Amino acid sequence: MIRNALIAVVVLALVVSALTVLWGWNALWRPLDNREVVFEVPADASGRSVLEGLHDVGLMPSELAGRLYLRFFADDRHLLYGRYRIPARSRPAVVLERILSGSVETMTITIVEGTSAEEVAEVGSSAGLGTVEEWRGLVSDGDLIHDLAPGALTLEGFLFPDTYRFAVGLPAASAVQHMLDRFREVWREEATSSLWRPPLELVTLASLVEAETSVPDERPRIAGVFANRL
């Protein structure tokens, strides 16, 4: 009698385990029957609200399964904010991994040499990285580069010309900080060579040279003339 009861318990446990595995597979690993979806995670969103949002757009069949996945497989990672482009037929677990790893949708902007701070503001705002008013407020704040140029009144000359890959919807302040960090990085590399003036004086001189000519081959000669006069 006891033997039969034990066998029944074991069989029941196996059946429950099999059903749980099947439920988990269907909820997390079965490819979704949907089209490409753009999903945005707000900066202050909780894990529960993200799972609810995924469920509402058909990317997470079971919020419970999502919570269990985050509890046992997130490994202290968090759902990261940003805009995500989820391919069609994605698996729910893969969607969660994409958000946990911060694989956000990105875009590229290029700041060419000689671009003024006002023009950078227009480029950044046109790309959707904040409003032009936000950019103008930021580029007029010389305190953001106080560590290198205490006397700077604006960021003119300090928004380093380069090609940047930003997350779609990145705040203007973060984009500006990336450009300033790039300037700092290049300055540290070049400051060990024959640079002979502080950063603010150097970018001011560079601005004067840019105002005189847009021909790269002429710049060294014109810079030499200014240097000799100084």
pLDDT digits (tens, 9 = 90+) for 76-93: 899 999 999 999 999 999
Q: Which helix (H) or strand (E) holds 106?
A: strand 106-110
Average pLDDT in the 91-111 region? 95
Q: How far is CA 181 from each of CA 46, 123, 162, 188, rounded to the nearest angstrom?
A: 30, 18, 12, 11
Q: Quick one: which of 38, 41, 93, 36 has its CA closest to 62? A: 93
Coil/strand/helix, residue 37: strand
Question: CB neighbours (10 Å) of residue 44?
Answer: 7
Angle between helices 172-190 and 132-139 (to 10 degrees): 40
Residue 6: is its pLDDT beyond 70? no
If you average pLDDT over every residue of the chain, what do you get?
A: 85
Residues sharing a CB contact under 8 Å with residue 32, sequence separation 6 or more, in sequence order: 58, 59, 61, 88, 89, 90, 91, 92
CB 167 within 8 A of CB 82: yes
Phi, psi of 113 (to 5 degrees): -60, 140
Q: What share of the chain is helix, strand, coil (3-state, %, to 5)?
A: 55, 10, 35
Task: Report how far residue 136's alpha carbon sits from residue 134's, in angstroms, rounded to the nearest whole number.
Answer: 6
Residues sharing a CB contact under 8 Å with residue 197, sequence separation 6 or more, in sequence order: 205
pLDDT per residue as tens digits for the range 117-168: 999 999 999 999 999 999 999 999 999 999 999 989 999 999 999 999 999 9
Taking the model in full, what pTM does it have?
0.74
Residue 57: is its pLDDT beyond 80? yes
Could you tell me the two tokens for 162? 């380069």
Residue 204: pLDDT band (50, 70, 90) is confident
Could you tell me the two tokens for 217? 């081959």
Could you tell me the two tokens for 53? 């949002």
Could you tell me the two tokens for 46? 């909780």
